[in-house]
């Protein structure tokens, strides 16, 4: 083989190695992102209106671990609470009820908006014995790219959404939502964002 051919083959091998090295680095990230859990990249401030929820509702930011329920029994509770809260709570904007653009609070007898639904679902599930560390408040842009709030349930197989717009509890990937912020799973009194979308 001539020297010019060997030189060309060496360059091709170099290009292939240069291309494969970054791909090798991406494999672990893809494996993490495909695990079914939202993966945040950075700390974020709490959403507008949510800065006081930890002081107002201690359970909303509880980090202690509760007893572990059987996963199928726990999922049944999650489905039941999502449907019950959605069917018994009226959707009422904060502006008409509290005269404020945004206030994260439990629904009143008149009702509540999306984050109020999420807070009520979290409170009920914590009362029923679900680990509060597996129940994370999150803000998103919905399918119409309107700001919205949901409750993320960290199941054993991945993150599921409890949403006042549907009685179905779905995997976050199939929601069509853009995730903005979520309570930090390791420290729910803090928020994270910059999510890897897979």
CA atoms of 113 and 111, how far apart (whole Å): 7
The domain containing residue 18 runs over which residues? 1-34
Checking if the pLDDT of 22 tops 80, the result is no
List, in order, residues 6 or more apart from 110 with CB less than 8 Å away.
90, 92, 97
From residue 58, alpha-carbon distances to 26, 61, 64, 190 in Å are 39, 6, 11, 13
Count of structural domains within the chain? 2
- 13 shares its domain with 71: no
Residue 29 shares a structural domain with residue 47: no
Percent of the chain with pLDDT over 70: 80
Q: In the structure, what pLDDT confidence band is assigned to residue 145 with cuts at 50, 70 and 90?
A: very high
State whether the Cα torsion 17-18-20-24 is positive or negative: positive
Contact criterion met (CB below 8 Å) for 171 and 159: yes
* In-domain check, residue 198: no
Per-residue pLDDT tens digits for 153-196 = 999 889 999 999 999 999 999 999 999 999 999 999 999 999 87
CATH number (domain holding residue 185): 3.10.620.30
């Amino acid at each position: 083989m001539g020297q010019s051919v060997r030189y060309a083959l060496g360059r091709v091998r170099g290009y292939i190695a240069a291309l494969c090295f970054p791909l090798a680095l991406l494999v672990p990230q893809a494996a993490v992102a495909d695990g079914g859990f939202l993966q945040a990249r950075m700390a974020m401030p709490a959403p507008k209106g949510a800065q006081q929820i930890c002081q107002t509702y201690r359970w909303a930011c509880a980090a202690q671990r509760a007893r572990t329920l059987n996963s199928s029994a726990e999922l049944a509770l999650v489905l039941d609470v999502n449907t019950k809260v959605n069917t018994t709570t009226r959707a009422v904007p904060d502006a008409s009820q509290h005269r404020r653009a945004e206030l994260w609070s439990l629904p009143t007898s008149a009702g509540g908006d999306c984050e109020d639904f999420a807070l009520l679902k979290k409170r009920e599930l914590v009362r029923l014995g679900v680990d509060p560390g597996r129940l994370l408040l999150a803000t998103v842009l919905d399918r119409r790219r309107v700001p919205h709030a949901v409750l993320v349930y960290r199941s054993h197989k991945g993150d599921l959404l409890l949403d006042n717009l549907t009685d179905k509890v779905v995997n976050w990937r199939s929601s069509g939502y853009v995730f903005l912020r979520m309570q930090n799973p390791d420290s729910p009194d803090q928020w994270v964002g910059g999510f890897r979308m897979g």
